Amino acid sequence: MGEYKKSYNEWMTNPYFDEETKQELKAIQDNDKEIEDRFYKELEFGTGGLRGVIGYGTNRINKYTVRKATFGLCNYILKKCGKEGQEKGVVIAYDSRHKSKEFCLEAAKTLAACGIKAYIYDSLRSTPQLSFSVRYLGCVAGIVITASHNPPEYNGYKVYWSDGGQVCPNIANEIIDEVNKVHDYSKIPTTKLGDNLIKVLNKNIDEAFINEVKKQIINQGVINKVGDKIKIIYTPIHGTGNMPVREVLKQAGFKNVEVVKEQELPDSNFSTVEYPNPEEKAVFEIAIDMAKKSGADIILGTDPDCDRVGVVVKNNEGEYVVLNGNQVGSLLVDYVISNNKENISNQVNPTIVKTIVTSELGAKIAKENGVDCIDTLTGFKFIGEKINEFEQNNDRTFVMGYEESYGYLVGTHARDKDGVVSSLLICEMAAYYYDKGMTLYEGLQEVYKKYGYYKEDLKSITLKGIDGMKQIQNIMDYFRNSTINAISNIKVNEVRDYKKGINNLPKSDVLKFILEDGSWIAIRPSGTEPKIKFYYGANGNDKKNVDYRLENIKEDMDIICNKVQAAI
């Protein structure tokens, strides 16, 4: 009998697992492939925590795997922080996904059973507010229950440390070790909800978060001037952003904000969209229809846990187009630096932080305006880590952080990407251009005219299951071990293998090819989905030429990749 079958039988016969669990598993008793997929491994607690399909089994996210992850975290806290960690406690937030509240309560009950205070919210809250709450409450750690923009069948579990940022590899690996030591689910302690170590938070912390976000306003004058004129449409895409985003825009002075009613309320099925991702134009279809009728100037959409934001604006032909994360990030870099020069000039080594797969346009804007730019690995936790490092060393001042996947942070109230402060500053930026008689799209063209035209693209290949994991690894192995001298007849100047460690960054399974003309390609497996991702970038003064080069590079990489997959 295979190991996965033994695990399945254990869950079916052990009295620890409840009747609901056994009924769900009984329904798949004749489906060997499904049993294998659910039980061939433990759902891995990686450096980003847990993320998986909801369901019963060791390779699914459910109340048992959440208890296991929490027990591992508890043991790490007790080992590292002892009684002080128990008293400081852990704060937990959750989003609108299936089982999010249940998983929050299960985590709280395991924390309390280990003598660790657990702070929970009475309803859903955004990820940036969780990040803020950790430091505001002085907690030793934080947990957020979310699967971000994944499809509705997913949920997840992310851990934050006392600095308010997601745990980085050094801490994450030690927590992983503790989680992996937990083999017997029935030995995981849990308690009842009435336990006095479980504390429900009041509304004061919501107000404190909004007040900190409002402190990031750069030009209140322009909001006062046109805040009642500029037309804004906002969609929370059925998630946590509805209350905080609308509240902060209202308090800032934006008086003409319309919400997409069909997507306003929490909905675990995200029933109006196929995929609740603000990177996809399809999520804005209802909002764009509304905008065409009202003549809205800008559309904003935040993902379910409200840490990322998508932006739709009118182009020069009057059509509504989605700006990508690199474009919005570059616009924000330009706006934040150029409208805050006096304050920034008085800072110690002002610095923006971006990831290695993000456009170089923001870096160019920063450096030409006397602001430094440094790169981190993909994942906003590494940007949050830099904020903490700057504060400890007192050698740099954090101006802004961003990544191409629609995540931005201005301010240090949170240590993760923040869709609330981003929404506020994007609207302020739109108001600034509105006051000049320009759209945000025209503002972007002005940036291109000044700094050069930059274009990026991303292609993801989804490869699910055990075979998919092998294919992803084989593709990475091919590009890592083959000698590739040219791509699209452009010489490869440099190959950066981040698995070997580069520029003092943690080792990571990422490859980056730098071409002779300044174009680049980065390849990495996704840390949260069964995908391998190909990132592309090119730049120059001639838009037509840049577009042409980028398309040729992508086509050449597709040919190589298809050959590799065919050979597997």
Residues acting as catalytic residues = 148
Percent helix, strand and coil across the chain, each to the nearest 5: 45, 20, 35
Task: Give 432's DSSP letter.
Answer: H
Task: Give 219's DSSP letter.
Answer: -
With beta carbons less than 8 A apart as the criterion, state whether 341 and 451 touch.
Answer: no
* Tokens read off for 513: 């090819």
Q: Which of 131, 161, 217 shows the shortest CA–CA distance to 413?
A: 131
Residue 70 C-beta-side C-alpha neighbours within 13 Å: 38
- Alpha-carbon dihedral 179, 135, 168, 364, rounded to 10 degrees: 160
Q: Which of 331, 342, 311, 352 shows the shortest CA–CA distance to 450?
A: 331
Strands (E), 63-216: 90-94, 118-120, 141-145, 154-161, 198-200
Cα angle 177, 74, 17; round to 5: 85
Using CA atoms, how far apart are residues 440 and 430, in angstroms rounded to an integer? 6
Q: What are phi and psi of 154, to 5 degrees?
A: -100, 155
The residue written with tokens 């305006």 in the block is 369
Q: What are phi and psi of 157, to 5 degrees?
A: -150, 110
Q: Which ranges in 181-217 belong to alpha helices (H)?
A: 204-214
Using CA atoms, how far apart are residues 410 and 332, in angstroms rounded to an integer? 9
Task: Give 516's DSSP letter.
Answer: T
- With a CB cutoff of 8 Å and minimum separation 6, the contacts of 214 are 248, 251, 252, 424
Q: Which of 538, 536, 532 shows the shortest CA–CA distance to 564?
A: 532
Residue 363 C-beta-side C-alpha neighbours within 13 Å: 16
Q: Which ranges in 369-519 belong to alpha helices (H)?
A: 380-393, 419-435, 440-451, 465-481
Residue 228, class by beta-carbon neighbours within 10 Å (0-12 exposed, 13-18 middle, 19+ buried)? exposed
Using CA atoms, how far apart are residues 498 and 478, in angstroms rounded to an integer? 15
Using CA atoms, how far apart are residues 8 and 33, in angstroms rounded to an integer? 12
With beta carbons less than 8 A apart as the criterion, state whether 273 and 283 touch.
Answer: yes
Residue 168, class by beta-carbon neighbours within 10 Å (0-12 exposed, 13-18 middle, 19+ buried)? buried
Q: Which SS3 state, helix, strand or coil, does residue 141 take? A: strand
101 strand-pairing partners = none
Q: Which SS3 state, helix, strand or coil, does residue 460 take? A: strand
* Tokens read off for 383: 């940007």
